[in-house]
Amino acid sequence: MPESKGRQKASEKLANKRARTLAQHRSENAEEKVRLSGARNWVPWVFVPLFLFGVAWLVVFYIAGRSIPFMASLGDGNILVALGFILAGFVVSTAWK
């Protein structure tokens, strides 16, 4: 037995409503992804200088550390300072997406 025209229209309305809802959810998810991806643009600007500063600290310590007063007073603690900067850069880099 054929369905009435009213039922066909109701099923079409339901399909259209589902399509609109799906499109709305997709657009909301896309906007949220764009917003979240832009939230961590600061990360490379922080972790790269931390890494480089740690490496530069080690290089300066090994080349001229004994003639620089505050580095001479730290002694081998300069290695811990440099590794601390490098470790801080690594920790910050894990927040990057």
Residue 57 domain boundaries: 41-93
Cα angle 80, 49, 59 (rounded to 5 degrees) comes to 50
Q: Which residue has the tokens 């790269």?
A: 48
Residue 46 sits in the same domain as residue 86: yes
Question: Could you tell me if 30 and 63 lie in one domain?
Answer: no
Quote the mean pLDDT of the chain. Answer: 84
Query: H or E segment at 96?
Result: none
The predicted model gives 14-26 an average pLDDT of: 82
pLDDT tops 70 at residue 7: no
Structural domains in the chain (count): 2
**In contact, 93 and 72? CB cutoff 8 Å:** no
Looking at the whole model, is its pTM more than 0.85? no
In this structure, the answer to whether residues 27 and 52 fall within a common structural domain is no
